[in-house]
Structure 1
Amino acid sequence: MFETSSIPAELLADITSVSKSTLLKWEKSRKIIPVFNVVTNKKEYKISDLLHFEEIRSVFAQDPELKANITKSLRDFNSIELFAGAGGLAIGLERAGFKAIALNEFNKDACRTLRINRRHWNVIEGDVKNVDFTEFIDIDLLAGGFPCQAFSYAGNKLGFEDTRGTLFFEFARAIKEMQPKVFLGENVRGLLKHDNGRTLKIMKSIIYELGYTLIEPQVLKAIFYRVPQKRERLFLIGIRNDLVRFADFKWPDPHNKIMVLRDALKAGDLYPTDVPISKGQVYAKRKKEILDLVPQGGYWRDLPDDIQREYMQKSYFLGGGKTGIARRLAWDQPSLTLTCSPAQKQTERCHPEETRPLTVREYARIQTFPDDWEFSGSLTSQYKQIGNAVPVNLAYAVGQSLVSLLNMIDIGQSSI
């Protein structure tokens, strides 16, 4: 029934979105019962004892064959993508059955990345403000991860024109000019509470003003969708009002296995071979000496106290866990969320065995890019492109749900 019989504490915390201190409280109340793994010397929990958690049931207690069903598109659905970056979202949507008509991106290196990998893609390089979308009328899907920005408030209620100057305005302008059947917006989960929730509230009102029904925004955890990384993204899906009566959107079901770093870097379920050798950043001499002392899965608090003080300096006396500092990843856990640089002090992503930052291809695999996807630009630029991307497998899962939605809309329209 299960891919594994037990899971470590770190993974249970990730799946249920709680802290390790909450797990300890649950143990005291006997809500969960720990067992000791003599091989890893770590505390674990039997999955059979955790089925009272909905999140556990959604991942482990469903028939894998049911989850393996792939939704086939009834035709070639077309798409336009804004803020395309290095192509993580675009690859996932392509795999799901979408044909990219055009992709807009401002960054020159990211545009070169898109072009060298998909020579047939129409990559519109430049500021989105200068793109005329009226030539793409009635497109099937508009997608894009617009940055989260605050609005300038002239009053209590803002309309479409009042948000001019933000990148959300440009995304909304594309909706207005193209009138896509469906749109997909992707953002950080912080958008839910940004400016005390007012930013999202205004976005919702503008989407309504444009003639679209917004599915309640959902935060999806990448670890549920064959991504070996603790990344969370907020997705907004809107359906044109005249098509809502044909639509019954369903968010993607979690995969029946949680992928970990080993799945990304070694041959197995995700990739047929070990990760290819590639370039990567390096640590300075003293930094490497210090990180040599960090155990697998550990961070700065696992260092001797005198080394902690040396490495953390004034931060040593401040509160907070700062668990990303001097962090060495572990083979049997998903990676922490990738950032734009694996070597910076606040966001270190050290290889589980070798004392070095993750390489470019290791970064790409954790984001589930294919090994033949090339990245253009300097090493720093490549890390940034990968770190900012939507994980390919997460994009594919969402793309499958969008294909099902558009299939329903097509069938509904044809029956009139």
Structure 2
Amino acid sequence: MSKLTFVDVCSGAGGLALGLERAGFEPRLLLDEDNDAVTTLRANRPRWNVLHTDLIDFDPAEHPVSHDVDLLAASPPRVKSNATVGRADSGMEERLLEATVYLVHAIRPRAVLIENVPGLAHSDEHQRFRDFARAELAHLGYEFTWFVMNAVDFGVPQNRKQGILVAVERQRAAAFRPPTPAVQEPTTVGAALESSMASRGWRDAARWAAQADQPAPTLVGGSKNRGGADLGPTGAKRKWATMGVNAHTVGDQVPGPDFVWDPELGRDNMVKITVEQAALLQGFPESWEISGRKTSRYRQVGHATPPPVGEALGRAVAQALVGDPAIFVAGYTSAT
């Protein structure tokens, strides 16, 4: 029996696509407007059909491979809150969300998956989009549900809540169930990164890991109109500081054997998280290569859907579409 198929738009570094692949889906087409993200996708999966284009400009009629797929998946840039709608780059996020919904008209997948900020699922400020999506998708014969997932519940060492829309063709919709937490105890930053921190001979890696005894706060990629890479807003930086991490920047490499770690002496004596380590905190495998300069690489990582979350969602969608997703994932292991 053939695998389930999907189209992935606003693919970024490929976190959602990788998770869906692990759940037994096969990509027909991925697209993104960012050159570095496209390079990342092609470097890690040379056989994937990756298109370098903006979703707004994408014409499915010119790409018939996108038709007749099981799933349309999308991770558009995070929509802004009311506090940030005045920024120069605001507004495009909402247009990309709407473009994803309009794309359903053209390719008519059996299911739709959109991932974004948690508020998209329930907050009043995003009610207009939810009403728009309901009207469009109900008209096309889909039933859907909104819910929130936290990546930490799926083995990702990060508290990262995401708002999820899943729409399924009406005759199969009753079979869909949102994923349930897969782990009982959260993975901590220290557990996830101790080996990495020790890789250049730093002798204090174990002591640092013992202090980094909680999941990371949400990684934030920022926008192209924003400055250099850091680990998030003020509250997140304070949280990182309790773990002995300087969150005001992103490191170029892990500590060497002579690094003196003493957070009481200030930022210079705190460790810095590298892009590669940030990718581990998002649940990417160590082998996943992120292309571009440091700020662009970190932005790709910070915007990504954690692959374990994508996998859990893929398995839930497969369950609704075929009843037993194991049919499609025989022989798969999470180490793949």
TM-score band w.r.t. shorter chain: 0.7 to 0.9
Name the stretch that deviates more: 76-85 or 195-204. Answer: 195-204
| CA deviation profile, 1:87-135 (whole Å, cap 9, x unmatched) | 1111111111011111010111111000111000111101112222241
TM-score, length of structure 2 as denominator length: 0.72
Residue aligning to 1:392: 307
Matched, 1:94 2:21: yes
Aligned to 2:150: 221
Task: For 1:249 and 1:204, locate their aligned partners in 2 and report how far apart those are by CA, in whole Å.
Answer: 17
Q: Residue in 1 aligned with 2:46?
A: 119
Q: Shift of the alpha carbon at 1:209?
A: 2.3
Gaps of 5+ in 2: 81-91, 201-207, 222-228, 246-260, 262-269, 326-336
2:99: which partner in 1? 170
SS at match of 1:266: helix
State the shift of 1:330 in Å. 4.5
Q: Any stretches of 5+ residues in structure 1 without a counterpart?
A: 1-73, 151-162, 268-273, 279-295, 298-328, 411-416
Pairwise CA distance, 1:276? 8.2
Residue 187 of structure 1: CA displacement?
0.9
Does the Cα contact within 8 Å between 1:222 and 1:231 map onto a contact in 2?
yes
Query: Normalization by structure 1: what TM-score?
Result: 0.59
- The answer as to whether partners of 1:243 and 1:409 remain within 8 angstroms in 2 is no
Moved over 4 A (4+): 275-278
Q: CA RMSD in A?
A: 2.9
**What pairs with 1:202-213 in structure 2 (closer than 5 Å)?**
202-213=132-143
SS at match of 1:373: coil
Structure with the greater relative contact order (CA < 8 A, sep ≥ 6): 1 or 2? 2
Structure 2 residue identity aligned to 1:392:
P
> Percent identity over the alignment?
31
Partners of 1:343 and 1:357 within 8 A in 2:
no
SS in 2 for 1:204: helix
Aligned with 1:228: secondary structure? Answer: coil
Partner of 2:218: 337
Structure 2 distance, partners of 1:374, 1:196, is 34
Q: Bigger radius of gyration, 1 or 2?
A: 1
Give 2:60's aligned residue: 133
Matches within 5 A, 1:16-415: 75-134=2-61, 135=64, 136-147=66-77, 166-191=95-120, 192-195=122-125, 197-215=127-145, 217-244=146-173, 247-254=174-181, 255-266=183-194, 274=196, 330-340=211-221, 341-342=229-230, 346=234, 347-348=236-237, 349=240, 352=244, 354=261, 355-408=270-323
2: CA distance, partners of 1:395 / 1:330? 30
**C-alpha separation between the residues in 2 aligned to 1:387 and 1:364?**
8
Please report how far the alpha carbon of residue 256 of structure 1 lies from its aligned counterpart in structure 2 after TM superposition. Answer: 2.9
Would you say the 8 A contact 2:77–2:303 is kept in 1? no
CA offsets, 1:271-293, max 9 Å, x none?
Answer: xxx46869xxxxxxxxxxxxxxx
The alignment covers a number of residue pairs equal to 269
Amino acid at match of 2:129: T
Q: 1:148, 1:258 → 2: CA distance?
A: 25
